[in-house]
Amino acid sequence: MRVLVTGATGFVGHWLMLELAEAGHDPIGTPPEGELDIRDLKAVADYVGAIRPDAVAHLAGLAHEHDARNEPDLAMAVNEGGTRAVLEAIGAVGHEHYRPAVLVTGSAAVYGRPDPRDLPLRESAPLRADTPYARSKLAQERVAVERGAALGLPICATRSFNHTGPGQRRDFLAPALARRVLEARHTGETVPVGNLDVRRDLGDVRDVARAYRLLLEGLAEGQVPAGSVANVATGRAVSIRQVLDLIGEAAGVRPIPRVDSRLVRANEAPEIVGDATLLHHLTGWAPTIPLERTLADVVASVAADMDREPSVARGLAENPDDG
């Protein structure tokens, strides 16, 4: 399949492009944000019309809770408005038989702060989107399902739980912790942390990319029903303390944590974990990469970045619900 990937230059987009190519598909990425505004219907329609892809993976969007809190209107415009523009652009191609498979990657943030009795979260769990980011992703999911049905597209939206891996932006949880642990290895200082006892479903970006590829293939082959909404999750909750310890093992240091009030979020959910039974049923997908390898690869990636940029200052913006 010729697969158009929006957000191809982003963290997950990079890995999805590799996954698609390795599986024998022809991935084509949209231009970077500065060259193509995903909210610009005419520009996106011209691009889609020129390529006429067999499938579209829509990843482009604002993906960080911190950014959405700072600019909630932009988060809604990009996540909901950009998704609407992509779908209308496909519809604008104008050929009655042109119905490419479409995957819209959403977020488990739509579940909000879950009731512990609902864990692990299935797709039927209540949606309690309670932040600007979560609300923008819920709006994105709804426009995907509604406009996809109206346009007759084989479409699926995901509710993707936390995932990490090499190359993730440095203010997400795992790379931020890795950077501080590596710095502590040289300075002997304590490692600033937030709440170490919260537990999250944390997967590997390469497993997530494989899930996206399988969903696209299933949509194209009719095995994934149009309008499906599926969790992408490991089904395993790990504490931030465990994440810190595994990063320390990979870095060859025993980190000594120090709680920093700037990293402690009020009213944080004690545990968030998903159930990917539906995804497994539809595609056969299951996570295969152990967390130890994921975090070791993150440490190696961050260490390489630090070698190239030794003067980069320590970041303190990580959030266990970002990535």
Q: For residues 104 and 139, is the Cβ–Cβ distance under 8 A? A: no
pLDDT above 70 as % of the chain: 96
- How much is the pLDDT for 315? 46
Note down the domain range covering 158.
2-163+204-232
Residue 144 domain-assigned (yes or no) = yes
Residue 179 domain-assigned (yes or no) = yes
Indicate if the pLDDT at residue 319 is higher than 70.
no
CA 283 to chain centre: 19
Burial class (CB in 10 A: 0-12, 13-18, 19+), 143: buried
Residue 148 domain-assigned (yes or no) = yes
Indicate if the pLDDT at residue 320 is higher than 90.
no
Tell me, yes or no, if the pTM score tops 0.85. Answer: yes
Residue 225 domain-assigned (yes or no) = yes
Question: Per the structure block, which two tokens stand in for 323?
Answer: 């990535």
Residue 279 domain-assigned (yes or no) = no
Q: Helices 132-151 and 82-91, interaxial angle, to 10°?
A: 10
Q: What is the DSSP letter of 172?
A: S
Q: Helices 240-251 and 173-187, interaxial angle, to 10°?
A: 50
Q: For residues 3 and 209, is the Cβ–Cβ distance under 8 A? A: no
Query: 3-state DSSP call for residue 24?
Result: coil
Render pLDDT for 167-217 as a digit per residue (tens, 0 to 9). Answer: 999 989 999 999 999 999 888 889 999 999 999 999 999 999 999 999 999
**Pair (69, 194) in one structural domain:** no
**Pair (294, 225) in one structural domain:** no
Render pLDDT for 133-152 as a digit per residue (tens, 0 to 9). Answer: 999 999 999 999 999 999 99
Residue with tokens 């642990």: 181
Mean pLDDT over 86-112 rounds to: 93
Residue 111 domain-assigned (yes or no) = yes
Residue 248 domain-assigned (yes or no) = yes
79-112 core/surface letters (b: 16 or more CB in 10 A; e: else): bbbbbbbbbbbbbbeeeeeebbbbbbbbbbbbbb
**Pair (31, 89) in one structural domain:** yes
* CA 148 – CA 259 distance, rounded (Å): 46
Indicate if the pLDDT at residue 292 is higher than 50.
yes
Q: How many domains does the chain have?
A: 2
User: For residue 120, is the peptide bond before it cis, meaning its omega torsion is within 30 degrees of 0?
Assistant: yes
- How much is the pLDDT for 312? 44
Render pLDDT for 45-94 as a digit per residue (tens, 0 to 9). Answer: 999 999 999 999 999 998 878 888 899 999 999 999 999 999 999 999 87
Question: Per the structure block, which two tokens stand in for 255?
Answer: 């980190």
Sheet arrangement for strand 271-272: 237-239, 199-201, 271-272
